Amino acid sequence: KGAVDNLDRIIDILKMLDIPRERYYIHCDGALFALMMPFIDNAPEISFRKPIDSIAVSGHKMLGCPMPCGVALCRKEHVENVEQHIDYLNSVDTTIMGSRNGQAALYMWYSLRKKGLGGIQRDVMYCMNAARYLRDKLTDAGFACRLNDLSSTVVLERPADDSFIKRWQLACEEDIAHVVV
């Protein structure tokens, strides 16, 4: 919960094991944090300048689009693997499902244009500060909790009181709960 894999370490291990580039595929699931990391001090760079093959980013998380949506980017050689010619459109389709919701793309475009880089940076700083505040308040209240420096997800021991869980709509799994700020 709230973890960010060390991409550079993974790449170094692949090199150390002398695994040829054509034998691995690295996908960066940047659902929430890929939009946050460019604005966080000392966050690692996720870039196609590194030997990654694809990255996915959600629009309904950090950008706040009103429906689930996202963008997946990948290297051209991988796009060509799913490419299909559609006769009745006289076009090539490179989507996995063969269709896409244009409204979701418009929401993402609108949110990016409205917020701009400065607005996204303000949102990121607000979330990171609020996550640190929540961690500190929970710690002061006696909860054991943690927060990754690159994350806005506060992980805590699952409260024993179910009414507390319901009141604050905590996401729980076994003996832990988490809050994505």
State the catalytic residues.
151
Give the residue from 49, 56, 57 showing the smallest Cα distance to 11: 49
For residue 170, CA distances in Å to 51, 58, 68, 98, 137 come to 37, 21, 20, 36, 16
For residue 148, CA distances in Å to 101, 134, 172, 173 come to 34, 13, 18, 19
Give the residue from 150, 133, 148, 129 showing the smallest Cα distance to 35: 150
Q: What string of DSSP letters covers 128-140?
A: HHHHHHHHHHHHH
